[in-house]
Structure 1
Amino acid sequence: MTAFLAQTEQVSPRVIRILGCNPGAFTLQGTNSYVVGTGDKRVLIDTGDKEKPEYIANLKKVLKESGATIQEILTTHWHHDHTGGIADIFRELQLPDDVKISKFPRNPVREETIVGGEGRLKYNYLNDGDIIKTEGATLKAMHTPGHSDDHMVLFLVEENAVFTGDCILGEGTAVFEDLLTYMQSLQKLVDSAPDILYPGHGPFVSDAVAKIQMYIDHRNTREEQIMDVLAKNGKPMESMDIVKILYAEVGEHLHRGAEVNVRNHLTKLEKENKIYKINSDMILKWKTRH
């Protein structure tokens, strides 16, 4: 059952969640952004999509009621529903250009443009383990690629909590670009043993380690299912053929996203020499080696 999320909610003494007002099939009820800290200057994690006046109004209201301004913006990764609101926030809140906008760099490293920033706004790039402090909160950045090459999570030391971006969602499972690095990132999170997860989409999670382990188990189970489908079919199969079998009970509008995940599983299995790829008439198909 989907938990209803209020547009703004004080989820802990030092964390306020603000919905991005951009609901959708992949954003759930919307992208979560978080105002973090207890002082008159606070950190904002993620910024939602561009041109969402209701989100900006809610952010203004939260800051006004808290008697606070934005000290720094942290974006968990480059995707538009996490970075799209940056320029709107600077304009509508009249932030000075020297307010930092921090993230991890892309791989390979390249210059990134902030949409609507007109060249004035630029990213400050973080390193793994960097600490960002504000009154009442200490955040530690960890590089967790997989969902995207620049993805990071942020540990909130005072609560043993993690802002997970799109590495872990409050409901359902996440898509990813590279399964091998994604699995490694999930293992990093399990090893860190957090108590609470504040995800980029969906409600917060209080049984953190169990949730992360569920993600790991789910991916391992899905891999076994893919191998089973390939073995039973006996012939080369396209990724969408596999999706239609494994995701038969899921709406077809979600099949394209599911195919991204299945292709990533196939790529990982190919790297591990468990399957091989056939390029026939520009159509990629996969088959087991046994």
Structure 2
Amino acid sequence: TGPGTNTYVLGHKRFTVLDPGPANPAHIERILELTGGAIDQVVVTHTHQDHSPGTVALKARTGCRVYGQPAPAGAAQDPTFAPDEEPVHGDVIKTDAGSLKVLHTPGHASNHLCFLLLEQELLFSGDHVMQGSTVVINPPDGDMKAYLESLYDLLDEPVRYIAPAHGFLMGHPEAVIDFLITHRLAREHKVARVLKSLGSTGLKELTAEAYDDVPAAIHGVAARSALAHLLKLEADGRAAREGEAWHATSHT
């Protein structure tokens, strides 16, 4: 995905592997080489195919304990992921590198977790915050309202640096998160404005207008984000649908 999925190895003598990535034999061997096989734990941010499938091989080779939330029922995610522990928001996982605080951050995926290394104020953000690109919010498992609320929640955490699953380490976390919130709300305003001007409209027509600043070739992908915005507007009482048609409500 993009430049690839970052796998993080935490520890000094005993190791915790965060997001082992896809079931890529060469990558798994590299993780085992770096750690000498001394892996106590694997922690996974979510069960998309580029994040969790490598867990099975590491578990088989090292007997490590696996932390994360299983794939949601009916979602086209990693069915092989079988955690020993299913941590919830606020739990703390002890590692050789320090304490990992678990933060439930739904939005990109309903089972998405971020992990905050408390002593270093370093947030492993998975796909919740990426460097260099915005995150795909693909309903029904992706949820724009939950995504924005999860971003706001991160601003309450003591974070100095963000280590994303895609891209490079980021400083100035408040600015990074503020940009993401502003970007999403700006698009939401545009979707709401277009919806009001078009009256009753289908998703394809709305996407063409609300995403006229992106190439038409990726309007198929943009339509998934447009739907996520419409569902948020619906939850906020600002949009409604009848069959395949959407329209603004008087709240808009």
Alpha-carbon contact 1:160-1:194 (below 8 Å) kept: yes
Aligned-pair CA distance for 1:253: 5.4
The 3-state SS of whatever aligns with 1:191 is coil
Counterpart AA for 2:246: W
The answer to whether 1:240 aligns with 2:204 is yes
- Looking at structure 1, the residues matched to 220 and 119 of structure 2 have their Cα atoms a distance apart, in angstroms, of 40
Counterpart AA for 2:91: D
- Looking at structure 2, the residues matched to 57 and 206 of structure 1 have their Cα atoms a distance apart, in angstroms, of 31
- Worse-matched range after superposition: 133-142 or 148-157: 133-142
- Give 1:13's aligned residue: none
- Looking at structure 1, the residues matched to 114 and 218 of structure 2 have their Cα atoms a distance apart, in angstroms, of 26
Aligned-pair CA distance for 1:113: 7.6
The 3-state SS of whatever aligns with 2:224 is helix
Alpha-carbon contact 1:33-1:48 (below 8 Å) kept: yes
Aligned-pair CA distance for 1:248: 3.6
Aligned-pair CA distance for 1:254: 3.7
Which residue of 28, 37, 59 maps to 1:90? 59
Aligned-pair CA distance for 1:240: 2.6
Aligned-pair CA distance for 1:127: 2.1
- Looking at structure 2, the residues matched to 247 and 190 of structure 1 have their Cα atoms a distance apart, in angstroms, of 28
Q: TM-score, normalised by structure 1?
A: 0.77
RMSD, aligned CA: 2.2
Which residue of 44, 52, 61 maps to 2:33? 61
Amino-acid identity (%): 28
Counterpart AA for 2:92: I
Q: Deviations over 1:60-112 (max 9, x none)?
A: 33224xxx621100011121211111123334xx212xx2111135668xxx9
Alpha-carbon contact 1:236-1:278 (below 8 Å) kept: no
Alpha-carbon contact 2:70-2:83 (below 8 Å) kept: no
Alpha-carbon contact 1:77-1:152 (below 8 Å) kept: yes
Alpha-carbon contact 1:105-1:126 (below 8 Å) kept: no
- Give 1:223's aligned residue: 188
The answer to whether 1:205 aligns with 2:201 is no
Superposed counterparts of 1:29-178, under 5 Å: 29-37=3-11, 39-50=12-23, 52-64=24-36, 69-91=38-60, 94-96=61-63, 99-104=64-69, 115=80, 122-176=83-137, 177-178=142-143
Runs of 4+ in 1 over 6 A off after TM superposition: none
The 3-state SS of whatever aligns with 1:81 is coil
Q: Deviations over 1:150-197 (max 9, x none)?
A: 111100112111101111111211122111211111011012141111
The 3-state SS of whatever aligns with 1:48 is coil
Alpha-carbon contact 1:175-1:261 (below 8 Å) kept: yes
The answer to whether 1:179 aligns with 2:139 is no
Alpha-carbon contact 1:104-1:143 (below 8 Å) kept: no
Alpha-carbon spacing, 1:90–1:254, altered in 2? closer, same or farther (3 Å): farther
- Give 2:223's aligned residue: 259
Point out the structure with the larger strand share: 1
- Looking at structure 2, the residues matched to 236 and 208 of structure 1 have their Cα atoms a distance apart, in angstroms, of 40
- Give 2:245's aligned residue: 285
Counterpart AA for 2:89: D
Q: TM-score, normalised by structure 2?
A: 0.87
